[in-house]
Amino acid sequence: MNARFEPSGRLRGTLRVPADKSVSHRAAIIAAMAAEPVRIGNYLDAADTRSTLRAVQELGALVDAREGELVIRGCGLRNARSAAGTIDVGNAGTLMRLLPGWLAFQAGLRFTLDGDASIRRRPVDRIAQPLSEMGARLEAREGRYPPFTIHGAPLRGIEYRLPVASAQVKSCLLLAGLVTEATTVVEPVPARDHTERLLLRAGAPVARTGSGLGEYRTTVCAADELELERIDIPGDLSSAAFLITAGVIVRGSRLVLEDVGVNWTRAGFLRVLERMGAIVLGDVEPEGSFSALEPATDLDVQSAPIEGTTVDGDEVPLTIDELPLVALLGCFADGDTVVRGAAELRVKESDRIATVVSGLRGLGADIEALPDGFAVHGTAGLRGGSIDAHGDHRLALLGAVAGLASAEGVEVAGMEAAAVSYPGFTADVAALLS
Ligand code: S3P
C-alpha cells in the first residue's frame, strides 16, 4: 500500500501513543510463564504483539480480553504445552529471541519457531550458542537462521558476557536462568532492562549491579513460580519518537504526548535530542536506576532549530530503534550528524544502515553509509520524493515523518508495515493537524 504524506502545517495537540511494544511482548510471555492469572492494562494492539498472544495460546496459556484489559492464565514455569505445529512469530524479532528462553527448559518437548521473510534473514545463533552452553539442544537453518527448533532439556547456569549489546539475548538467558542455580549476564554497556524489572515484580530472585553507562551484571536464580497480579504498560517511546521528531522539525509545532515510558535504558533518544538543541520537556528516569516499575511521563515537544551531533558506542543500545530518526533530524540540523558503533542496525527488520541511507538520499539528503552507522550533512530540510519501507515498520514511519517536514511531500511504498508497531499513526497525525 502506497501512502502520501504532504508537507504539513504545524502539528498541535495532545495524544497518547500506542503501548510499549517491548514491554507488551514481555508482559505476555512472563504472564504465560506465571502460575496465577495476570491482568495486563494497555497491552499493545499491533501485529507484532498479536503474534505473541497467538504464540502463548498455542503453548497452553488462556487469553481473555475484557473491559479494556487482558487476562492471561499462564501454564506455570515448567508446564508449557507442545504446540500443534510451527509457532509463527510473524515479523517479531523480540518474540523469536525471548520465547526460546522459556521453551529451552520444557524437558522432553520440541518446538519450532519461524516467521516472515525478514525474520528468516535475522540471526538466532546469538541465542542458540549460550542456550546450548546451558544444555538445550537447538537446530537452525545454516546454524544461524530460522526456522529454529528447540528441544527442551534440564538447564545449567552459566555466566555469559554479551559479545554485542542485545536486550533480546540478555532477556532470553534470564528467562532460561529461572530454572538454574544461578545465571549471570554481563553487559559491557547497558541495554533495555524491561525483562529484569518484570521478573523482579514477579518475585523472581534477580540482582543487577553496575552504574552509569558502564558494565552491568544481572543474575537470576531458580524460582519456584512467577506471580504478579497486574502489569500496566506505558506508551512506547520508540513510537512517540516519530511524533517527537515531527514536532521538532515541522515549524510552529507544539505537542504533548501523554504517559510515555521513560525507563532510562530506553531514553537515549531524548538525550540525543537535548544535545541537538530540541525542546522536549518531561520527567525522565535518572541514569542507573533499577526498580520493579516502568516510569512514565508526559512529553512536551516544541519545534526548534537543531544542530548536528555524534552518537556512538555506549549510547547506541539506549537509542537503537530511534537511530533512523537521528539521521532524519540530521538532515534538518545545522552541521554534521554522525552515528557510529551501530553495526547492529544491519540485522534489524531491514538492514537499517542501507535502507535509511538509500531512502533518505532518495528524498534529497546528503547522507553516506559507514560500516557501522551513517554520516549526514545537514541541508536545512529535505526535498521529498518516494521511499520504500522494505517491509520495515520503522522505515515506513520515517518516510511519513520526512514527508510532513519536506518541501514537496513523500510517497511511502509499503506503508502497511507500520501496523507492526503503530497501526494508528496516520490517524494520529491527522488528529494533530486538525
Ligand atoms: C528489543 C531490543 C532491541 C530492539 C528491538 C526490541 C527488545 O533489539 O532493537 O526492536 O524488545 O528487547 P536487540 O536487543 O537485539 O538490540
Q: Distance from the CA of 94 to the center of ligand 1, in angstroms?
A: 6
Q: Is 316 in the pocket of ligand 1 (CB under 6 A)?
A: no
Residues 252 and 262 in one domain: yes
Residues 250 and 380 in one domain: yes
CB neighbour class for 24 (10 Å; exposed up to 12, middle 13-18, buried from 19): buried
Residues 302 and 206 in one domain: no
> What was the pLDDT predicted at 279?
95
Instruction: Quote the CA–CA distance of 422 and 374 in Å, as a whole number.
Output: 25
Q: Residue 356's domain spans which residues? A: 2-19+234-433
Residues 73 and 98 in one domain: yes
Hunting for cell 531524548 — which residue is that? 270
Q: Distance from the CA of 165 to the center of ligand 1, in angstroms?
A: 9
List the residue whose alpha carbon is closest to atom 4 of ligand 1.
321
Residues 14 and 25 in one domain: no
Instruction: Quote the CA–CA distance of 348 and 389 in Å, as a whole number.
Output: 13
Residue to substitute in 29, 94, 119, 174 for testing ligand 1 pocket (most ligand atoms within 8 angstroms of CB): 94
48 catalytically annotated: no
Q: Is 321 in the pocket of ligand 1 (CB under 6 A)?
A: yes
**pLDDT tens digits along 17-76:** 999 999 999 999 999 999 999 999 999 999 999 999 999 999 999 999 988 899 999 999
Residues 145 and 198 in one domain: yes
Q: How far is CA 343 from the centre of its chain?
A: 16
C-alpha distances (whole Å) from 340 to each of 203, 287, 337 are 38, 22, 10
Q: How far is CA 84 from the centre of its chain?
A: 29
Please answer whether residues 15 and 431 qualify as being in contact, where contact means their C-beta atoms are separated by less than 8 angstroms: yes
> What was the pLDDT predicted at 361?
98
CA-based R_g, the chain, Å: 21
Q: Is 118 in the pocket of ligand 1 (CB under 6 A)?
A: no
Residues 50 and 104 in one domain: yes
Q: Which domain-ending residue is among 195, 217, 232?
A: 232
Residues 198 and 266 in one domain: no
Residues 125 and 200 in one domain: yes
Q: Which domain-ending residue is among 209, 232, 255?
A: 232
Residues 218 and 256 in one domain: no
Q: Which domain-ending residue is among 195, 210, 232?
A: 232
What's the domain count of the chain? 2
H or E segment to which residue 301 belongs: strand 296-302
> What was the pLDDT predicted at 396?
98
> What was the pLDDT predicted at 398?
98
With a pLDDT cut of 90, the percent of the chain lying above it is: 98
**pLDDT tens digits along 213-265:** 999 999 999 999 999 989 999 999 999 999 999 999 999 999 999 999 999 99
Nearest to 96, CA basis, from 121, 79, 78, 74: 121
Of 321, 388, 392, 428, catalytic: 321
Backbone angles phi, psi at 258, to 5 degrees: -90, 145
The amino acid present at 143, given as its one-letter code, is: G
Say whether the peptide bond before residue 147 is cis (omega within 30 degrees of 0): yes
User: Closest ligand 1 atom to the C-alpha of 238?
Assistant: 10
CATH of the domain at 58: 3.65.10.10
> What was the pLDDT predicted at 112?
98
Cell of 327: 539521521
Residues 70 and 184 in one domain: yes
Residues 369 and 424 in one domain: yes
| Helix-, strand-, coil-residue percentages of the chain, each rounded to 5 | 35, 25, 40
Please answer whether residues 200 and 217 qualify as being in contact, where contact means their C-beta atoms are separated by less than 8 angstroms: no
> What was the pLDDT predicted at 434?
87
Instruction: Quote the CA–CA distance of 241 and 191 in Å, as a whole number.
Output: 18
Instruction: Quote the CA–CA distance of 24 and 95 in Å, as a whole number.
Output: 11
**pLDDT tens digits along 381-397:** 999 999 999 999 999 99
Low-confidence ranges of the chain (pLDDT < 50): none
Q: Distance from the CA of 169 to the center of ligand 1, in angstroms?
A: 9
Please answer whether residues 60 and 84 qualify as being in contact, where contact means their C-beta atoms are separated by less than 8 angstroms: no
